[in-house]
Amino acid sequence: MQPTVHSVKAEYRTDSPYTGASRPRLSWKTETAAPGWTQAGAEIEWRRGEATAVARVDGPESVLTAWPFESLLPRERGRLRVRAEGADGSASDWSEPLEIRAGFLAEGEWRARFLTVPEPADIGQPVLLRREFAVRRGLRAATLYSTARGLFQVEIGGVAVDDERFKPGWTAYQSRLVHETNDVTALLTAGPNAIGAALAGGWYTESFGFHGETRPFYGKYPSFAAQLVLEYDDGAEEVVATGDGGWRATADGPITASGIYAGEEYDARRAMPGWSSPGFDDRAWLDARTDTAEAIVPVPRTAPPVRATGELPVAEVITTPSGRTVLDFGQNLVGHLRIRVSGGEGDTVVLRHAEVLEHGELGVRPLRHAKATDRYTLAGDGVETWEPAFTFHGFRYAEIQGWPGEFDPADVTAVVVHSDMDRTGWFDSSHPQLNRLHENVVWGMRGNFLSIPTDCPQRDERLGWTGDIQVFSPTASYLYDAAGFLASWLEDLALEQKAIDGVPFIVPNVLYWAETPAAAWADAAAVVPSVLYERYADSGVLERQYPSMKAWVDQVAALAGERRLWEGGFQFGDWLDPNAPPDEPGQAKTDHDIVASAYLHRSSRLVADAAGVLGLDEDAQRYEAYAEEVRAAWLREYVTPAGRIVSDAQTAYALAIMFGLARDPDLLARLGKRLAVLVERADHRIGTGFVGTPLIQDALVRTGHAGTARALLLQTGVPSWLYPVTMGATTIWERWDSMLEDGTINPGQMTSFNHYAFGAIADWMHRAVAGLAPLEPGYRRFAVAPLPLAGLDWAATEHETPYGRATVRWEADGEALVVRATVPPNTSAVVSLPGRGAEEVGSGEYEWTVPDPRPATA
């Protein structure tokens, strides 16, 4: 059976041929019906023009393999193919060719200067810039490198150069700025041409803070920089760059105001048709001004860009008790509205956004100081179509004010916007509420993975809180190919860490007070790189982040001192424990010191593991020994010989069990029994916050209490995972009771209806309920070990691993359980089913029938 090689890719991006690496790592997948197929070796062909080079890779590796050729040069392009040989003697044909282009500039080649508004204007004032230039005959290629301190889109001759949004995204602007790379050859013609850039402040000019006490962090004005490299058939090269003269600018464009939190205002009467085309009359414009703020040289993008990824129609038109018109889109989402409207000149349509209704009216209190309002003023010349360019909202409902004439819901569409990652994970079951819970997790990730991993997408926050992604990164890495997205964010984490000699609460760090070390939040420095290695076999990210991982543990070790316990000081603790008062979300049942020292142990062990992978044996031994000292101190200080923990709470026991703090089998059994008792006494209602929620189900199952875990999962009373589902939630809530049972929004000042942290339960649903879990990096070897739960007739999951599609499905059939699995080529699976010993199988399609254990154990 001849194998087929497919899905060849270079480094992280699959949406573009451009790579930001001069030696991009290569990955490919193999498809074959041959059972137990493993790769014995592969050939890689790299063709540049007429030159062809072939390299051989021996062994089974096909994920993030080293670039075997000479380093790429700027603007170099070629086509790469792979063919694989199996250990069974089979051989594939060449794969379809993958186009690869070098998307970076040579060192010292960046010469563009940042241009901004022509004269002092309002903070964050949107601006248009343009320049005309000539292209001579014989143009072979035109490559545009562009970036902004702010948000931008480039047009050439009235055509946008791509479909990306919120370029260049949010990074630690003072330390790292990314540039876009576009092939714009097809947009140019011999003779006069024009390039235009629409620019808004975005995150760069936004004010950040809480309780109305906000302040700008980066700069007052957005600025734009670009260089267009023109290559001709005769070998000549020309560069059109910002700062080289001829650039004109105006702040009198149709976008009159724009903000991430406030929304966008557009006056169609100020539209300037042809402003990015040659021959446009720009005499009223002024010379663009050079931004004097210190500039850094941008680096090429490695993360997937933000795009519009879907659309939703109006599901229902509601007239509220006060007589207002509100549109329900049936799904809490992140993005904006696109409207089609006709009316008189000067008519203004106002669009207000919110996630929920409260007693029939738009529930805007959770937005705090975010206005989340867009305004469109009509030109009055027929049917007009508009959508905002530089803002986004978290909403399910939108209130429409000032609509001219009769309103038709078909004229309004919700546009879904987020970082455009490939979907890789799915879950389904016979339990509709569990399926809706999982769908809520997916929508929560979509909305909060917008350039950076945010905590929420709607209120005056939308920040990269480290604690949220620390607990959610395993789930994220299953649902989507988040490798490039999170690897890019980790670069900023390391830069922000170096700037303050510690890991801040949020990355990028725009809060002056967010620099105090905090367990479970700053531990993202050690946890997230480890997750990327586990799920994607990305040892490169471990190597790059290792100094950051190590520095974090060293900092906390100094705080812990000789006692090896991190005690005192500020901590978030088990944030949003359901018993915490609405306005004191950190007042959890589990003591902060217990959480902090447990995480010190965990991160120390992760650093030891990373050191082992990287061949740093001395570090591995040292951090392993230190982790053991912390473990012993934790047990001595917080655990009684009878198996009680000082904080007799669900999270404390889950930490002890799942972080490897308790290893003695008798102690583990006692801790697990006590955890189950606490859950049962709470009527199987959740009692954990951010820290304990991702751990509690595994802790119960590991210590023999799967029935208790099942009851906790399927509980619908408040607090529980399914309570929001019963209340009509379509995303994960920040609080277990963000909406009270009477339809009133939680009285706390901090309430979000799209907050993915508690959605970390989905990782357990994938690994345990359906039964597909990684055993070796990248799922090179994985577990097939479903946990059939009473109340479910079947459950299934699929995951597009770095090696190919893996699936597990179990289904009750009378008194039997039928389990089916797909093991992709070049991988193996350890199968553990009820009533059978574990067995390891190679690639292929499998089916097993075993006795259904649930009547005896449910």
Can you give the CATH number for the domain in which 799 is found? 2.60.420.10
In this predicted model, what pLDDT tens digit does every residue of 62-83 receive, in sequence order?
Answer: 999 999 999 999 999 999 999 9
> Residues 6 or more apart from 376 whose CB is under 8 A from it?
265, 266, 268, 339, 341, 348, 349, 351, 384, 386
Residue 126 sits in the same domain as residue 74: no
Residues in the chain: 858
What is the reported pTM?
0.97
Q: Is 251 left (phi over 0), alpha (psi -120 to 50) or beta?
A: alpha
The first and second tokens of residue 510, run together, are 């725009």
CA distance 71 to 48: 13
Question: Does some domain include residue 159?
Answer: yes
Domain shared by 95 and 35, yes or no: yes
Residue 419, Cα to own-chain centre: how many angstroms? 7
Identity of the residue numbered 672: G
Cα 164 to chain center, whole Å?
16
Q: Which residue from 509, 505, 462 is spatially nearest to 262, judged by alpha carbons?
A: 462
Residue 857: is its pLDDT beyond 60?
no
| Domain termination residue (choose one: 262, 280, 300) | 300
Model confidence at 123, in pLDDT bands (50, 70, 90)?
confident
Q: Which residue has the higher pLDDT, 782 or 291?
A: 782
**What is the pLDDT at residue 855?**
66
Pairwise CA distance, residues 766 & 757, whole Å: 16
**152 and 223 within one domain:** yes
CA distance 25 to 68: 9
- Cα–Cα distances in Å, from 516 out to 70, 89, 513, 630? 45, 58, 7, 21
Alpha helices in 501-576 (DSSP H): 524-536, 539-560
Q: Are 83 and 94 in contact (CB under 8 A)?
A: yes
Sheet holding 425-429, edge to edge: 425-429, 794-801, 804-813, 816-823, 844-851
CB atoms within 10 A of CB 782: 26
276 with 154, same domain: the answer is yes
In 3-state terms, what secondary structure has residue 723? helix
Structure tokens belonging to residue 776: 């070796």
Set 45, 206, 264, 734: catalytic member: 734
Nearest to 603 by CA among 536, 548, 540: 548
Q: Where are the alpha helices (DSSP H) in 161-252?
A: 202-205
DSSP element (H, E) containing 830: strand 828-831
Residue that is last in its domain, among 300, 325, 346? 300
Per the domain annotation, does 91 fall within a domain? yes
DSSP at 71:
P
Is residue 623 included in any domain, yes or no? no
Residue 858 confidence (pLDDT): 42
Q: How many CA atoms lie within 13 A of 85 on its CB side?
A: 11
| Token pair in block for residue 615 | 């061949």
CB burial class (10 A; 0-12, 13-18, 19+) of residue 325? middle
Which residues have CB under 8 Å from 816's CB, separation 6+?
A: 849, 850, 851, 852
Convert the pLDDT of each residue in 407-452 to its tens digit: 999 999 999 999 999 999 999 999 999 999 999 999 999 999 999 9
Q: Domain of residue 8: give its range.
A: 4-102
Phi first, then psi: give them for residue 733, nearest 5 degrees.
-85, 155
For residues 336 and 342, the answer to whether their CB atoms sit within 8 Å is no
Q: Average the pLDDT over 558-575 and give the result.
A: 97
Q: Which tokens sit at 161?
A: 């150069």
Q: Are residues 190 and 291 in the same domain?
A: yes
**Which token pair is 804?**
């190919």
List, in sequence order, every beta strand (DSSP E) within 109-216.
115-116, 127-135, 139-149, 151-156, 159-160, 178-183, 191-200, 207-210, 213-216
What's the confidence (pLDDT) of residue 118? Answer: 86
Rounded to 5°, angle at Cα 486 from 447 and 484:
105
Q: Are the beta carbons of 84 and 28 closer than 8 angstroms?
A: yes
Cβ contact 413:313 at 8 Å? yes
What mean pLDDT is predicted for residues 572-590? 95
Strands (E) in 284-386, as ranges, are 286-287, 289-290, 299-300, 306-313, 316-319, 325-341, 348-354, 357-358, 361-362, 373-377, 384-386
| Cα separation, 697 vs 703, whole angstroms | 10
> 44-53, 207-216, 455-464, 490-499: which has the minimum mean pLDDT?
207-216
Going by their DSSP bridges, the two strands 207-210 and 213-216 should be labelled as antiparallel
Rounded to whole angstroms, what are the CA distances from 705 to 197, 429, 674, 770, 783? 60, 22, 11, 17, 20
Does residue 183 sit in the same domain as residue 270? Answer: yes
Rounded Cα–Cα distance for residues 216 and 200 (Å):
15
Residue 148 has pLDDT above 90, yes or no: yes
Burial of 583 (0-12, 13-18, 19+ CB in 10 A): exposed
Q: Which residue stretches of 449-538 are H helix? A: 466-479, 483-500, 524-536
Shared domain check, 197 and 137: yes
More confident residue, 677 or 295: 677
Top-confidence residue, 120 or 393? 393
Rounded CA separation 94/44 (Å): 9
Digit-coded pLDDT (tens) for 236-262: 999 999 999 999 999 999 999 999 999
In a domain? residue 507: no
At residue 65, the pLDDT reads: 98
If phi > 0 it is left, if psi is from -120 to 50 it is alpha, else beta; for residue 377 that is beta
Residue 39 within any structural domain of the chain: yes
Domain holding 64: CATH number?
Answer: 2.60.40.10
Q: For residue 779, what are the CA distances in angstroms to 562, 699, 803, 808?
A: 39, 22, 8, 14
Q: Assess whether 439 carries a catalytic annotation.
A: no
Note if the bond before 409 is cis, omega within 30 degrees.
no
> Which residues does 496 contact at the CB level (< 8 Å), separation at least 6?
172, 175, 503, 504, 507, 508, 509
Q: Please give the structure tokens belonging to residue 167.
A: 């370029």
288 three-class SS? coil
pLDDT tens digits, 681-728: 999 999 999 999 999 999 999 999 999 999 999 999 999 999 999 999
Residues 139 and 259 in one domain: yes
Tell me what percent of the residues of the chain surpass a pLDDT of 70.
100
Q: Which of 8, 537, 12 is nearest to 305 (CA)?
A: 12
- C-alpha torsion angle, residues 218, 224, 225, 230 (rounded to 10): 160
- Contact (CB, 8 A) for 354 and 367: yes
Is residue 124 a part of any domain in this protein? yes
Residue 340 has pLDDT above 50, yes or no: yes
* Rounded Cα–Cα distance for residues 46 and 184 (Å): 24
Do 147 and 284 have their domain in common?
yes
- Residue 149 in any domain: the answer is yes
1: CB partners within 8 A, 6+ apart? 32, 33, 34, 90
Nearest to 632 by CA among 666, 672, 670, 597: 597
Catalytic entry in 155, 265, 461, 515? 461
Type and span of the H or E element at 8: strand 4-10
Q: Would you give the DSSP letter of residue 410?
A: G
Which residue do the tokens 């062994």 mark? 59
pLDDT tens for 621-661 read 999 999 999 999 999 999 998 999 999 999 999 999 999 99
Looking at the structure, tell me whether residues 140 and 97 fall in a common domain: no
Tell me which of 38, 72, 102 is where a domain ends: 102
Assess if residue 225 is contained within a domain: yes
- The answer to whether 285 touches 118, Cβ cutoff 8 Å, is yes
Q: Kindly tell me if the per-residue pLDDT of 120 is higher than 80.
A: no
Active site residue 355: no
Strand pairing partners for 222? none
Distance CA(746)–CA(363), nearest Å, equals 11
CA separation for the pair 229, 667 (Å, rounded): 67
Half-sphere exposure of 162 (CA within 13 A, CB side): 22
CA 162 to chain CA mean position, Å = 21
User: Taking all residues of the chain, what is their mean pLDDT, rounded to a whole number?
Assistant: 96
Q: What is the DSSP letter of 598?
A: H
Q: By C-alpha distance, which of 742, 778, 326 is closest to 531? A: 778
Question: Is residue 377's pLDDT more than 90?
Answer: yes
Instruction: Work out whether strand 263-267 and strand 286-287 pair parallel, antiparallel, or are unpaired.
Output: unpaired
Inter-CA distances, 841 with 587, 837, 844, 849, Å? 48, 13, 8, 16
Residue 856 has pLDDT above 80, yes or no: no
Is the domain of 234 the same as that of 90?
no
Domain total for the chain?
Answer: 3
Indicate if 144 and 290 belong to the same structural domain. Answer: yes
pLDDT in tens, 223-233: 999 999 999 99
pLDDT band at 374 (very low <50, low <70, confident <90, very high): very high
- pLDDT tens-digit profile of 22-53? 999 999 999 999 999 999 999 999 999 889 99
Domain of 222: which CATH number?
2.60.120.260
Distances from the Cα of 479 to the Cα of 422, 426, 435, angstroms: 9, 7, 14
